[in-house]
Structure 1
Amino acid sequence: MTDIAPGAGPATGGGMTEFVAGLPKAELHVHHVGSASPRIVAELAARHPDSAVPADPAALADYFSFRDFAHFIQVYLSVVDLIRDADDVRLLTFEVARDMARQNIRYAELTVTPFSSVRRGIPDQAFMEAIEDARKSAEAELGVTLRWCFDIPGEAGLTSAEETLRLALKLRPEGLVSFGLGGPEIGVPRPQFKPYFDQARAAGLHSVPHAGETTGPQTIWDALGDLGAERIGHGTSAAQDPRLLDHLAEHRIPLEVCPTSNIATRAVATLEEHPIRQMVDAGVLVTVNSDDPPMFGTDLNTEYAVAARLLGLDTAGVAALAKDAVAVSFQDDAGKARLAAEIDAYTAAWRSA
């Protein structure tokens, strides 16, 4: 892994913004429906005027103002309800990739919750064909490589776990690389999902559950011990347990950190209080991600700029952060090597200029 310790001093203002905008990047924690920009949501809402979601992009900023995590889930599910047929799925997926291409995101592991769409009546095979068609088109037309993480919506219980596993294993799309667990953590203990993660891992899928976002460190320990987590989604509360930080650092288990998301959902009070610096100082490998970017008024470029400020990074440090995301992604070795080389070439050209 690369070293993201502070360099000669942080690049600030327009210089860092410009550097990050052009930097080739990978994103490892970003949700399918949660990536729908106001442009995409408005188009879907116009298709389905019976929805509570505004069809006016300007009104969505107020709609995406969250009181707490429970309210965020409520709003999120209302957007999920806009995805009603395979054409909606295809539109959403390709347009999300288009927004990624504008940020120079070259590779993304998109967290998809097929249970929610299939439960709403989209035939399972049609859903798989729609995301795969969009994935192939995104790579050919936009230069964005997408891979899927199928995640269990924890609030829907073990029925959703069983169905998500079935969809992952019986209809396994070519782009599927991992198995996850999202939704509320409070009242949704991780150990109950162990049998489903065991089967997914036995079938060759990677384990990437959310843990420690709105609950304490024990949820992260449970994700590691019971679900075999290879990366942890969020992991914010790890900073409360020095022994856990040591364990994550020793075993090189990355945290998928989403700073602005943590503020928007009230998991952390302010950016200044965000524990990302404590994580890095403890030797934990962190990746920076946007989670549900339009809903939180952010994007991956913004999150890199936030991380640069919180960690005191210069452009070399930010490039190293980007390479860490590539290194711990689930793309093949050739893909990792290409993207890492592209980051190095971009950084070298920036320095020489």
Structure 2
Amino acid sequence: MGAVPGEDPLTDLHAFIAGLPKAELHVHHVGSASPRIVSTLAARHADSKVPSDPEALADFFTFTDFAHFIDVYLSVVDLIRTPEDVRHLTFEVARELARQNVRYAELTVTPFSTTRRRVPEREFMAAIEDARKAAEAELNVMMRWCFDIPGEAGSEAAEETTRLAVTDGLRPEGLVSFGLGGPEIGVPRPPFKPYFDRAIAAGLHSVPHAGETTGPQTVWDAVRELRAERIGHGTSSAQDPELLAYLAEHRIALEVCPTSNIATRAVRTLEEHPITAMVEAGVLVTINSDDPPMFGTDLNNEYAVAARLLDLDERGVAALAKNAVEASFLEPAGKATLTAEIDTYTTNWLAR
């Protein structure tokens, strides 16, 4: 049935998306700090250059290019100075996820940015874990962690992040994967192979960023050298039909973040976004928000953008939501439960 007669189908689809149970696989911990959260943290630390006025944050979060985005991102990182800051940020991000009916999220956490500058590592781990458990109990949001290396910081960051990720008694219970983020230009993937090998040997999944602001060779390197099971962004994969066929055959999912790609100038316009080519090639595409408040978006909006670009109805949007569940590192029983929840919601919606 779909839309109720007389209603705007687009408005109806947006309402469907808002209530749809979802998983998110590519969303950054600090990058998820909304103006509400950032203003609270900025007020705690008056020496920061980050404005505490939520309205002023809109201008602060206007980027000229990817390098400027990194500068702004790091200025927000500088607000995370105490275990209480870490706990507040993490739980409040979970609250934002719950508002969008996100049931499961794998947050990309960059501990090196905080543990080497401000918060002792054990206190950092305790804070994110306390927030994770509270969010599951109080908000019905399951969170898991991906520890990622800030690639621009080189071998020191790689070694430290790997140590935190593989050391028994230190790595947090919610840690499921290992990544590589930051600028791609001038930061090739192959030198990080030894660190990914150690993380994989410790039971973690490989989920590096690749092909966001560089060409498809970076994605090939992530797959061949870092044994990637999912690719963060992978935007340039569409330039290489052989690569798309490989990703499709091996079910290596792409974590697609449309609005982010426009905000960082990785893609010029939404109309030029390669998501259609990815889907038509049979690639397992998931929809994600990356650093949502910084890009003026959220996961619900990203689904609406994807629905427009791919010309999807409610069933098509639900299929995208199930892609994220399939590509997640949630245990099989949890995947089955969340998939069934998506199916039940969709069936009930269409039967209205």
Residue aligned with 2:46, SS = coil
Cα separation, 2, equivalents of 1:151 and 1:43: 26
Cα shift readout 1:183-210 (whole Å, capped 9, x = no counterpart): 0000001000000000000110000000
Question: Who is 1:140 aligned against?
Answer: 137
Give the Å deviation of 1:263.
0.1
Unaligned runs of 5+ residues in structure 2 are 1-7
Cα separation, 1, equivalents of 2:251 and 2:199: 22
User: Does residue 311 of structure 1 match 2:300?
Assistant: no
Question: Who is 1:69 aligned against?
Answer: 66
Cα separation, 1, equivalents of 2:343 and 2:88: 33
Task: Give the TM-score of the pair, scaled to structure 2.
Answer: 0.97
Letter in 2 for 1:284: V
Contact 2:235–2:256 (8 Å) recurs in 1: yes
Cα shift readout 1:118-155 (whole Å, capped 9, x = no counterpart): 11121000000000000000000000000000000001
Question: Who is 1:193 aligned against?
Answer: 192
Cα separation, 1, equivalents of 2:250 and 2:338: 24
Cα separation, 2, equivalents of 1:67 and 1:121: 28
Question: Who is 1:24 aligned against?
Answer: 21
Structure possessing the higher relative contact order (Cα contacts under 8 Å, 6 or more residues apart): 1
After TM superposition, the structure 1 = structure 2 runs for residues 70-109 of structure 1, keeping only pairs within 5 Å, are: 70-109=67-106
Question: Who is 2:5 aligned against?
Answer: none
User: Does residue 208 of structure 1 match 2:202?
Assistant: no
Task: Give the TM-score of the pair, scaled to structure 1.
Answer: 0.96
Cα separation, 1, equivalents of 2:186 and 2:42: 32
Would you identify which runs of 4 or more consecutive aligned residues in structure 1 move more than 2 Å? none
Question: Who is 2:109 aligned against?
Answer: 112
Cα separation, 2, equivalents of 1:288 and 1:158: 31
Give the Å deviation of 1:12.
4.2
User: Does residue 178 of structure 1 match 2:182?
Assistant: no
Contact 2:20–2:345 (8 Å) recurs in 1: yes
Cα shift readout 1:150-180 (whole Å, capped 9, x = no counterpart): 0000010010000001111111110000000
Give the Å deviation of 1:115.
0.5
Unaligned runs of 5+ residues in structure 1 are 1-10
Cα separation, 2, equivalents of 1:12 and 1:42: 36
Question: Who is 1:57 aligned against?
Answer: 54
Fraction of identical pairs, as percent: 77
Question: Who is 1:271 aligned against?
Answer: 270
After TM superposition, the structure 1 = structure 2 runs for residues 207-286 of structure 1, keeping only pairs within 5 Å, are: 207-286=206-285
Cα separation, 2, equivalents of 1:280 and 1:335: 25
Cα shift readout 1:258-310 (whole Å, capped 9, x = no counterpart): 00000000000000000000100111110000000000000000000000000
Cα separation, 2, equivalents of 1:135 and 1:203: 22
How many equivalent residue pairs?
Answer: 343
Cα shift readout 1:207-245 (whole Å, capped 9, x = no counterpart): 000000000000000000110000000000001111111
Cα separation, 2, equivalents of 1:292 and 1:165: 23
Residue aligned with 1:267, SS = coil
Question: Who is 1:7 aligned against?
Answer: none
User: Does residue 35 of structure 1 match 2:26?
Assistant: no
Cα separation, 2, equivalents of 1:327 and 1:186: 31
Residue aligned with 2:26, SS = strand
Letter in 2 for 1:167: L
Question: Who is 2:289 aligned against?
Answer: 290
Letter in 1 for 2:223: L
Residue aligned with 1:178, SS = strand
Letter in 2 for 1:268: V
